[in-house]
Structure 1
Amino acid sequence: MSDKELLYNLIKETFLLLDDGDRRFFNHFDLTVSRYYALYHIGEEPGISFSQLSDCMVCDKSNVTRIIKGLESVGYVVRQPHETDGRTLRLYLTDEGTAVLNQIAIAHKSYIEARLNFIDEIEQDNLIEGLSRLNEHMKHDLYGLVEEIPL
């Protein structure tokens, strides 16, 4: 196995471990990871469109529609028509959605701190720098490289 393959496998395993931990954590609040991050992005950008939310969550619009329907059914999110473009819907948190997001975000921050507490400051700085570069490159080349590699 090459160093690049090892690195890829370690990053992938880390993602799976982080995702599983988040799944277990958010389950205590009767939320999925996707629903939490939808709440988070709507809270960060009130009035966000389905398309923008889809981009933020790196998933297709039909998946976002399903997530939003679930959040609407529990009273956390409402959709409203765009002021000038009748074809576009904007998403907002309800008061209950805002309260739930605030409560969970505080608990999630503590959870993250506890999970990553073993990493010292120098390691953390190096990880932040390296992973930030990796993420920028991956975002820039999200679709292009797959299409260039002969399968």
Structure 2
Amino acid sequence: MLDKLNHAVIEFYEKLSSWEHDVVREKGLTLPQMHTLEVLGIHKDMRMKELAQCMGITTGTLTVLVDRLEDKAFVCRKPHQTDRRSIIVGLTETGNEMFKEHDRLHLRLIEEITAEFSDDERDMLLSFIKKMNGAF
């Protein structure tokens, strides 16, 4: 049984990843860049260190991502109001629009792949995914 579950999860990940790559590539972004916009869109402005931790990357890697997103006018940096050593990064209006558009695409995908599900099945799926996420 675990073998079948393992293969099903891998297959789903590969299909979702392929879909994500195609969607992001059309926007001229990389997956890590879009992921940065998604985290900021969901959590709002964050310290660079907090954002790096949330994404599971180093601050050095995040700096490169933020530099490129800032060049594209999707994010902006600003000094922290009370901690001079900290930098806050947040979405610009353009970045927020890109996040919203991408979020709508995700929602549409979820609607499509769960179209045959009942409300109870969607609730169960959500519960299972939350448990799986909690295991990390």
TM-score between the two structures when normalised by the length of structure 1: 0.75
Percent of aligned pairs with the same amino acid: 22
Larger radius of gyration: 1
State the match for 1:142 in structure 2.
none
Deviation at 1:48, TM superposition (A): 0.3
TM-score between the two structures when normalised by the length of structure 2: 0.82
Question: 2:50 aligned to 49, 52, 59, which one?
Answer: 52
Is 2:71 the partner of 1:77?
Answer: no
Question: 2: distance between equivalents of 1:127 and 1:87?
Answer: 42
The 1:31–1:108 alpha-carbon spacing in structure 2 relative to 1, beyond 3 Å, is: farther
How many residues align? The count is 136
Is 2:128 the partner of 1:130?
Answer: yes
State the match for 1:12 in structure 2.
10
Show structure 1 runs of 4+ deviating over 6 A.
none
SS at 2:135 equivalent: helix
Gap runs ≥5 in structure 1: 139-151
Question: 1: distance between equivalents of 2:100 and 2:129?
Answer: 27
Q: Give the letter for the 1:15 counterpart.
A: Y
Q: Quick check: 2:77–2:89 contact (8 Å CA) kept in 1?
A: yes
SS at 1:96 equivalent: helix
